[in-house]
Amino acid sequence: MMPPLLPLTTVTDVTNTSLNNRLVFVGDLSAGSTAAMRMVALRSLGFDIQAIDSSVGRIRPLSQPLEYLAIKARRPLDTRRINQQILNAVGPCSVLYIDKGVTIRSATLAKVRTAFPHVRIIGYSPDDMLNRNMSSAYFPGTLPLYHTYLTTKSYGVQELLDLGCPQVLFVENAYDPDTHRPLPPASSPIFSCAVGFIGTYEPDRAAILKRLALAGIPVTIRGNLWRPLQWQAIAGLSFLPEVIGDEYSRAICSTRINLAFLRKSNRDLQTTRSIEIPACAGFMLAERTAEHEALFREGVEAEYFAGFDELVQKIKKTLADEPQRKAIALAGRTRCLRDDYTYAGRFRKAFQTLGIPLPSSQPSSPLAVPSE
């Protein structure tokens, strides 16, 4: 039987109150990763973080054939010995936080449960973990061993519960105030454009962008794996490399209309970009969903579309009304600040719901609203 879910302050094993401040963070800490932003957010809430970096970079079939085949078989290799690192680090902490733990083994979490019953095990993923391409064969077996799993997919709550997770909490996507902020638009053609999209290639995205170009609406695309569309050499489509950090935010701020497509294979109803674009005071034109509409008011804080014809109509209308475009972009930023859509804000609400005391009660203090 699984140990009961108790607030950390009621666990009798914890005799040192400073233990409540210790959190072992496991996640991809590579430059520009959202997991690294979540670690910073947890630190801003007062946790004393011990970080375990699970990043492995881009696995290439020619240079790393074994690792590549293991991923394709949905059994990624634990080349960084993350499981052992967890067992070495987890004793003197109150929370073990695992960000998208696709290499974590159930035996590891079972040992933590047995040897360190005072440790609350919390999982998090920004992706659909029932999407085979986003998860691993190990993941379902670990779910009953988490105390709580945080998911940005509202439909995922019941699905993860059905797989045996004791407690699942839906949390909205978020932004990092140190990264996603208004920056002066750049005049360089590397950044400046009328209509742009930032993201990875997906066939449905490529089809829409191709139709826009053929309809006479040029689009600048930044991201990875776009060669299938590049090879078609369609006039009006420009391709630039992936951008991260300040370059990512500057690209958003230098784009008059930022398109926000959902990933259908991930069953998205909102994405990280759904928050990041408005947080940068960028104008967002996204696919219409109930979750998007709850996050930002249509026509006031963002714009939405359903279908190609409405997309074209909204693009033309927005490009023809610069004052309204700027007003909507600034209102989106204001909404992010007012409702605290930061990672720290999301974690604060989640931990309060879970009964986990925060070491610090300070607000996340995002940057001030810019004036136009």
Same domain, 204 and 240: yes
Amino acid found at 26? V
Using a 10 angstrom Cβ sphere, with 0-12 exposed, 13-18 middle and 19 or more buried, the burial of residue 46 is middle
Could you tell me if residue 183 is inside a domain? no
Backbone phi, psi, residue 331, to 5°: -65, -35
Sheet holding 22-27, edge to edge: 48-53, 22-27, 95-99, 120-125, 148-151, 168-170
Could you tell me if residue 1 is inside a domain? no
Per-10-residue mean pLDDT, the chain, length 372: 34 45 96 96 96 89 86 91 97 95 97 96 94 92 98 96 97 98 84 93 95 97 94 95 94 97 91 98 98 98 98 98 98 98 98 90 43 36
Helical H segments across the chain, by residue range: 34-44, 65-72, 82-89, 106-115, 139-142, 156-162, 203-214, 227-230, 245-253, 272-279, 290-295, 308-319, 322-338, 343-354
Cα-based distances in Å from 231 to 67, 163, 212, 234, 293: 29, 42, 17, 8, 36
Same domain, 163 and 258: no
Same domain, 41 and 169: yes
Owning domain of residue 88: 8-173+342-354
Same domain, 45 and 163: yes
Same domain, 16 and 164: yes
Q: Which residue has the tokens 């004052």?
A: 323
Same domain, 75 and 201: no
Confidence (pLDDT) at 18: 59
Q: Which two tokens stand for residue 139?
A: 């993941």
Using a 10 angstrom Cβ sphere, with 0-12 exposed, 13-18 middle and 19 or more buried, the burial of residue 285 is buried
Contact 169, 157 (CB under 8 A): yes
CATH code of the domain in which 297 resides: 3.40.50.2000
Could you tell me if residue 2 is inside a domain? no
Q: Which two tokens stand for residue 304?
A: 């939405």
- pLDDT tens-digit readout, 96-110: 999 999 999 999 999
Same domain, 25 and 115: yes
Query: Among residues of the chain, what percentage have pLDDT more than 70?
Result: 91
- pLDDT tens-digit readout, 176-201: 999 999 999 877 777 789 999 999 99
Q: Which residue has the tokens 């249509």?
A: 298
Confidence (pLDDT) at 19: 63
Domain count, the chain: 2
Confidence (pLDDT) at 15: 37
Contact 81, 105 (CB under 8 A): no
Strands of the chain (E only): list them.
22-27, 48-53, 95-99, 120-125, 148-151, 168-170, 193-198, 219-222, 237-240, 255-260, 284-287, 303-305
- pLDDT tens-digit readout, 152-174: 999 999 999 999 999 999 999 99
Determine the distance from the C-alpha atom of residue 171 to the mean position of all C-alpha atoms in its chain, rounded to a whole number. Answer: 11
Rg of the chain on CA atoms, in Å: 21
Query: Do strands 168-170 and 120-125 pair parallel, antiparallel, or not at all (unpaired)?
Result: unpaired
**In degrees to the nearest 10, what's the CA dihedral of 127, 213, 188, 317?**
-90
